Amino acid sequence: MSKGIIGKKLGMSQIFSGGELIPVTVIQAGPCAVVQKKTAERDGYAATQLAFDEEKRQNRATKPVAGHYKKFGVAPHRSLREFRTEEYDQGQQVTVEIFQQGEMVTVSGTSKGKGFAGVMKRHNFRGGPGGHGSMFNRAPGSIGSSAYPSRVLPGKKLPGHMGVDTVTVKNLKVVEVRKEQNLLLVRGAVPGGKNGIVLIYKQS
């Protein structure tokens, strides 16, 4: 991914356009401050660090984090992410204006946490019979062979922690850009819950 911005998912809504009801996700996209520009000669790769959501209480930042921001003359922020692009300049404010209505974007975020989940919820297993004294309703079934190889093979779908994964959704259409409010309205759903941090990338 290259040029993009950090945002916060505010929730979902719907708008009417051309007689069509369009479901949209409202994202507060920026403004983001350019903190550091990394170069291939000095850091081994080229990237730009963006900061989003300035910390209201500056003492909440740890000393290493506060020192990093102070080094580049930027106030501590709650979110700091890197983008593999060199198009931004040091000290620049990146706003939602980098996007245009009608273009396609890629949104990456953290999915909602579901805790410990079984195979039917986590992996969409069908499950066994539900009645007539069945003792095999939501169980995973056989998980391996007997004599050979006498072990459970790696990658076997089993119960476990579900959610809190990085999820990326591509080809989301920008329905509207509200520059005055720093709002970006994209068609469809994006990963994560309300107030979750998302990364919005421009598609080349």
The model's pLDDT over 110-152, given as tens digits with 9 standing for 90+, comes to 999 999 999 999 999 999 988 888 888 999 988 888 888 888 9
Q: Are 183 and 175 in contact (CB under 8 A)?
A: no
d(CA 125, CA 118): 9
What pLDDT was estimated at residue 55? 83
What tens digit of pLDDT does each residue of 10-49 get? 999 999 988 889 999 999 997 999 998 988 889 899 899 9
What pLDDT was estimated at residue 197? 94
**What are the C-alpha distances in Å from 70 to residues 21, 35, 75, 92?**
47, 10, 7, 16
d(CA 71, CA 69): 5
- Domain locations in the chain? 4-202
What pLDDT was estimated at residue 91? 79
d(CA 138, CA 136): 6
Tokens standing for 203? 């598609």
What pLDDT was estimated at residue 5? 93
What pLDDT was estimated at residue 7? 93
What pLDDT was estimated at residue 108? 94
Residue pointed to by tokens 């910390």: 55
Dmax (CA) for the chain in angstroms is 70
Average pLDDT, the chain: 90
What pLDDT was estimated at residue 92? 83
What tens digit of pLDDT does each residue of 69-86 get? 888 888 889 999 999 988
d(CA 67, CA 139): 52
DSSP state of 120: H
pTM, two decimals, is 0.85
What pLDDT was estimated at residue 19? 86
CATH architecture designation of domain 4-202: Beta Barrel (2.40)
What pLDDT was estimated at residue 199? 94
What pLDDT was estimated at residue 188? 92
Report the run of H or E that residue 65 belongs to, with start and end.
helix 63-71
DSSP-based three-state secondary structure for 41: helix
List own/partner pairs for 20-24 with CB under 8 A and 24 or more apart: 22/175, 22/187, 23/187, 23/188, 23/189, 24/175, 24/176, 24/185, 24/186, 24/187, 24/188
Residues 6 or more apart whose CB falls under 8 angstroms from that of 149 comprise: none
Q: Is a pLDDT exceeding 90 seen at residue 186? A: yes
Q: Are 109 and 198 in contact (CB under 8 A)?
A: yes
Q: Is a pLDDT exceeding 60 seen at residue 1? A: no
Q: Is 101 exposed, middle or buried (0-12, 13-18, 19+ CB in 10 A)?
A: exposed
What pLDDT was estimated at residue 115? 96
